[in-house]
Amino acid sequence: NAGVTQTPKFQVLKTGQSMTLQCAQDMNHNSMYWYRQDPGMGLRLIYYSASEGTTDKGEVPNGYNVSRLNKREFSLRLESAAPSQTSVYFCASSEAKTGGTYGYTFGSGTRLTVV
Amino acid sequence: GQQVMQIPQYQHVQEGEDFTTYCNSSTTLSNIQWYKQRPGGHPVFLIQLVKSGEVKKQKRLTFQFGEAKKNSSLHITATQTTDVGTYFCAGLPGTSYDKVIFGPGTSLSVIP
């Protein structure tokens, strides 16, 4: 029972390069999320997906795109990386439904450095 | 916009002392969740409170949800070095069913 799996764990990019962060969950959760965490900034929501086939912007979506490939997988793409995107990225999932959500399960994170 | 605040931002305690972090929302919440993140790790879900005035305990941890469902607290009795980390509250606004708002977290250091 792996929970939420993120790849890669570490990545160094040059400014302007692109990459996709992968996330998969095996808990049959409906909702999936992408957060970034910067020192002193807490967790900021980039994009989320309430169900397969739907995605919505969060607090800091600029410079990112997402794809909810199927119920299990939710990927985050940086089309042209910038140093300001240096951060730790967390994927999370939850069993959310009308009437309330349940605790989020987080992946172990991707530590991204853009030089 | 909707905000969730936490105080204090940092807390340093001697091992064995108690610790409390407070969470306040600008709007009424459907529920409040608490997470712990160890240094270098990822947030781990601790508990969810749903009812007004609810109190839940997990060993040395006591969680409370305010009567107005706009504030919450986490109290740790007799801290241990294993309690080190950042504690986040996350509130589910009444207008949402799937997107919580995370507080900025309280970083706890325990001096042995």
Q: What is the pLDDT of residue B68?
A: 95
Whether A35 has a pLDDT exceeding 90, the answer reads yes
DSSP A53-96: T--EE-S--TTEEEEE-SSSBEEEEESS--GGG-EEEEEEEE--
Question: Backbone dihedral region of B76: left (phi > 0), alpha (psi from -120 to 50 degrees) or beta?
Answer: beta
Q: What is the pLDDT of residue B95?
A: 73
Q: What percent of chain B has pLDDT over 70?
A: 97
- Residue B39 gets which letter from DSSP? T
Confidence label for A6 from pLDDT (cuts 50, 70 and 90): very high
Give A41→chain B minimum CA distance, Å: 6
A103–B102 C-beta distance less than 8 A: no
Which of A30, A32, A31, A99 shows the shortest CA–CA distance to B30?
A: A99
Residue B24 CB neighbour total at 10 angstroms: 17
Is B87:B23 a contact under the CB 8 Å cutoff? no
Q: What is the pLDDT of residue A108?
A: 97
Please give the Cα distance from B72 to B91 (Å, whole number). Answer: 9
Q: Does B90 touch chain A (CB under 8 A)?
A: yes
Please give the Cα distance from A48 to A55 (Å, whole number). Answer: 6
Residue B108, H or E segment: strand B106-111
Give B77→chain A minimum CA distance, Å: 24
Q: What is the pLDDT of residue A99?
A: 52
Q: What is the pLDDT of residue A101?
A: 65
Q: What is the pLDDT of residue B91?
A: 92
A42–B103 C-beta distance less than 8 A: yes
State the amino acid at position A84 in one-letter form.
S
Whether A98 has a pLDDT exceeding 60, the answer reads no
Q: What is the pLDDT of residue A95?
A: 85
Is A79:A65 a contact under the CB 8 Å cutoff? yes
Whether A38 has a pLDDT exceeding 80, the answer reads yes
pLDDT tens series, chain B, 112 aa: 778 999 999 999 999 999 999 999 999 999 999 999 999 999 999 999 999 999 999 999 999 999 999 999 999 999 999 999 999 999 988 777 678 899 999 999 999 9
Helix then strand then coil, % of chain B, to nearest 5: 5, 55, 40
